[in-house]
Structure 1
Amino acid sequence: MCALLIVMVAISLASASTYSEGRNLNKFLLANYSKEILPRLIHTNIMEVNVDFALGSIIDFDGVTGIIFFTGGFVISWKDEQIAETWKQSEFTHLDKTQLSVHDVWIPKIYIKNMADQISIFPFSSYFDSETTYATFDQNGTALIMLITNLKTSCSIDMTYYPFDKHTCEIYLIYSHMYYKLAFNTSRMSANFEHTIPNSEWSFSSSVYRTEFHALPTIVYVLNLSRKPLFLVMNLLFPCMVIGIVNSLSFLIPIESGERLSFGVSLLLTFIVFVTTVLDNLPSTDTFSFFNVLLLVQLIYSSLIVFGIVQSIHYYYQDCKKPVPGKIKRMTKCIMSCNRNNKKSNRVKPGTENSKIDNGFHEENSMKEQGYTGKDVNDKLKARDNNFIEGGNDENRNRSLCEEAITWKDVSRAWDRICNIIACIFSLTMLTMFSSLIFPRLD
């Protein structure tokens, strides 16, 4: 048993690599190595470089500038035939892997064409970061390097269906080796999301395709961003719709309360605030979003509501001496016919027996309370009746002018009814239209 243990320890010590062996291997591999030359035994052969992209997290996406800020990792692999050939000729064939600094070996120089900040995918933020970046090699010469960095790239933005907008962010990977021929490939059909941190505002998917840029092979990773609209629906879209519907009820507020105009102006100012809020989140492009159009229509609609309120108040307090034009009178009769018939049946007109008896009773009680005797009370009531029969003073004449079949207050009520019907129809139509255009985007 002891002999078996001794043999196993001897074998493990023989196969284990020591620090000095690893150092000597690196010196041997780099003795006649030139990082300026393509590491191919025959230079006419094409160097194949494989690049895979893994998304870490989306830090921020600015819909105004179209810049996406995210963390990601690139795994780059290629075949270094010079390292493989030299390793076979060494005495360190029992070693499987080694690491070499990126400053000592040939590294494919890869750029991102649409970067908004840095260009290269090698983000050496400091000297220490640069000196501690290594490429891993095996005996076959396969090199592997992994880079993790923060990237800012430009995207094509589409705010048409905001806040249900979707955007496409493309990452164009190109290389700068004009002297050598490289085959740019990727082993995946999309970006790697296995270790991606979910984003609270955006959901995403990915695809990849190959193309050429100025005769250079290019790999394009496509990130498709879809906004999660629940927050904006609850805090922006839904309040806008509700206020638009409430705006149509402005004409139900009685004019006598004095609150109708202030209510309409308050809603108008509210829509102005909504427009200002949306302008801060939308880009300055020729493409308008449906939501921006909605706010503009709502703003015009609220302005017309205020105009209708002012016109209604103007009719209501119009001088009763001024006659109502014939056309307006006929329209008012047509609109208010049913309602006016009900009012006429319950109205007590001045000058009738019921009104005179009622007024006489109150005046008689009032004069008795003031100390008038019965004869004085009868004389005053008789004089009042004579004035009423003869036409009386200017005040009675003005009252008779105001007692026409159609008054300006009736015109105001008819105007309110027209505006209220139009406002309700407009609100429902607009709500239905934008719901059919926007809400299907939730799918």
Structure 2
Amino acid sequence: MTAVLYVNIYFVISLIVLPGPSSGETLTEYNNLYNTTLKGYNKDCRPLQNQRNTMNATLYFYLRTIAKLDEVSSKMITVGLFEINWWDDIITWNPFSYGDTTLLHIDESLVWKPSMTLINTMSTNVGLLGLTQSKIRYWYNGYALWNVADRFQTTCDFDTTYFPFDKQTCEIKIVAWDYTTDKFMIYPLKPTVNLTYYSENGAWELVSTETRSEYLSYYSVVVFSLNLKRRPMYFVIYLLIPVFTMLFLNTLVFMLPSDSGERVGYAINCLLSLTVFITLVSEGLPQDSEPMPVIGYVLTVYLIISAIICVLTIFILRLHHKDENKEIPPTFRKMYNILTCATCKKKSTFVEAHVSSIELENVEEFDKQNKFDVLSLTWRKLSSRLDTICFISSMSSVITVGVVFFVIVTVKS
């Protein structure tokens, strides 16, 4: 940590005291400086007078945009620029000897530069930083500045448990692979990524950034972390709301008259619509099994609820169309009594609360009528009662599953 602080302070002070860039008094003086500087220069040797010392470099990342994040392929594509700084003991000169020339631009292929690569690249090559046509800027005191702009494809370990309300941390890891840590070290120049020129991504919100140093065996590594939060509104509007709407319409099958002849077809059409919709949108959902997204369980439960509604619809219609002369088994009578128990209690409570305004004979007549209804139970009354209970139960199940899902993803994500 002390070494990082020392290097950062050293570079900041040097940038302050560096004079402004100059192209030299004449072209001849600039060419003389250029030729003199590169004469006898060995680009395969670290530009240190004392080769026993450790050479240090700093990295600074300017993030332009996050072009794409793909959960299926675990890929992140970013566009940005790396600013790499170091001190060169070989390329130094006296500006007054060359017409006050304080700055040189030299092709990167002609001088020494730190060989760095992306560890977590998605490209087919090793992900080397730098292009042969880019230039390295050198100041007269040996300060070197190398800018590397590119489109970087890196891997990202997605945790889609709470999709589409999930948060992700994607990293860009760079390693100095030519030299071990006793010869060459790289450090982040600042604790965060530069977002001055950042352009927002429509699907992801960049919450924060951070940088840190790591070690990979005997090699130095710099990690740039991007903390991202998914913008969920697209999936809420085009996935969750349509699914919930289809389930709501499916539960309304119990409100259709049993003699309409459309109940079974209506229930099956709702089930097929939900199945087709889930199949179509599944391509846009995270295709991960470990961890399994919570929304996958929710859609599965909703599909099961829709199938159960179809089964219950067929069962109730079968009871509705039974011969009224056929005796109702005791099991169904007990079921009817259990289902009507709560309703009877509510009616009795209502009567007791208003006994002062209702005549006693009306109350007795109400009790007799209620008892008569139980004794004169028919298949149609039983199916009607089952319709009411199934509608309430299915609607409650749909709402409960939805509420539990939103509570889980909003609290734990």
Please indicate the TM-score interval, normalised by the length of the shorter structure.
Answer: 0.7 to 0.9
CA–CA distance in structure 1, aligned partners of residues 205 and 54 of structure 2: 39
CA–CA distance in structure 2, aligned partners of residues 318 and 282 of structure 1: 48
2:320 equivalent to 1:313: no
1:121–1:147 CA contact under 8 A, matched in 2: no
Q: Deviations over 1:95-148 (max 9, x none)?
A: 110111111100100011000014334354xxxxx2x31100001111111111
2:209 equivalent to 1:238: no
2:59–2:187 CA contact under 8 A, matched in 1: yes
1:72–1:150 CA contact under 8 A, matched in 2: yes
2:96 equivalent to 1:94: no
2:124 equivalent to 1:105: no
Aligned counterpart, 2:88: 80
Aligned counterpart, 1:420: 391
Q: CA deviation at 1:409?
A: 1.7
1:106–1:216 CA distance, 2 compared to 1 (3 A): same
1:39–1:90 CA distance, 2 compared to 1 (3 A): farther
2:67–2:78 CA contact under 8 A, matched in 1: yes
1:274–1:295 CA contact under 8 A, matched in 2: no
For residue 155 of structure 2, what is the amino acid of its counterpart? Answer: S
Q: How many residues align?
A: 361
Aligned counterpart, 2:348: none
CA–CA distance in structure 2, aligned partners of residues 170 and 327 of structure 1: 64
Q: Deviations over 1:282-324 (max 9, x none)?
A: 1233211111111011011111111100101111112334321
Ranges in structure 2 where 5+ consecutive residues have no aligned partner: 1-22, 345-364, 370-374
2:220 equivalent to 1:217: yes
2:77–2:151 CA contact under 8 A, matched in 1: yes
2:114 equivalent to 1:122: no
CA–CA distance in structure 1, aligned partners of residues 199 and 84 of structure 2: 22
TM-score w.r.t. the length of structure 2 is 0.81
1:80–1:141 CA contact under 8 A, matched in 2: yes
CA root-mean-square deviation: 2.5
CA–CA distance in structure 1, aligned partners of residues 190 and 24 of structure 2: 35
CA–CA distance in structure 2, aligned partners of residues 222 and 262 of structure 1: 54
What SS class does the counterpart of residue 170 from structure 1 fall into? strand
1:324–1:408 CA contact under 8 A, matched in 2: yes
Describe how 1:210-359 pairs up with structure 2 within 5 A: 210-280=213-283, 281-335=285-339
CA–CA distance in structure 2, aligned partners of residues 196 and 426 of structure 1: 45
Ranges in structure 1 where 5+ consecutive residues have no aligned partner: 1-14, 125-129, 346-403
CA–CA distance in structure 2, aligned partners of residues 277 and 141 of structure 1: 60
Q: CA deviation at 1:278?
A: 4.4
2:161–2:294 CA contact under 8 A, matched in 1: yes
1:271–1:295 CA contact under 8 A, matched in 2: no
After the TM superposition, which of the residue ranges 291-300 and 248-257 deviates more from structure 2? 248-257
TM-score w.r.t. the length of structure 1 is 0.76
2:395 equivalent to 1:437: no
What SS class does the counterpart of residue 103 from structure 1 fall into? helix
Detail structure 1 runs of 4+ shifted over 4 Å in the superposition: 336-339
Higher radius of gyration, 1 or 2: 1
1:16–1:35 CA distance, 2 compared to 1 (3 A): closer
CA–CA distance in structure 2, aligned partners of residues 68 and 120 of structure 1: 14
2:81–2:149 CA contact under 8 A, matched in 1: yes
What SS class does the counterpart of residue 251 from structure 1 fall into? helix
Aligned counterpart, 1:25: 33
Give % identity: 26
1:327–1:285 CA distance, 2 compared to 1 (3 A): closer
For residue 427 of structure 1, what is the amino acid of its counterpart? Answer: V
Q: CA deviation at 1:88?
A: 3.8
Describe how 1:101-180 pairs up with structure 2 within 5 A: 101-117=107-123, 118-124=125-131, 130=132, 132-178=133-179
For residue 320 of structure 1, what is the amino acid of its counterpart? Answer: E
What SS class does the counterpart of residue 81 from structure 1 fall into? coil
1:275–1:296 CA contact under 8 A, matched in 2: no
Q: Deviations over 1:248-270 (max 9, x none)?
A: 33211111112222222122123
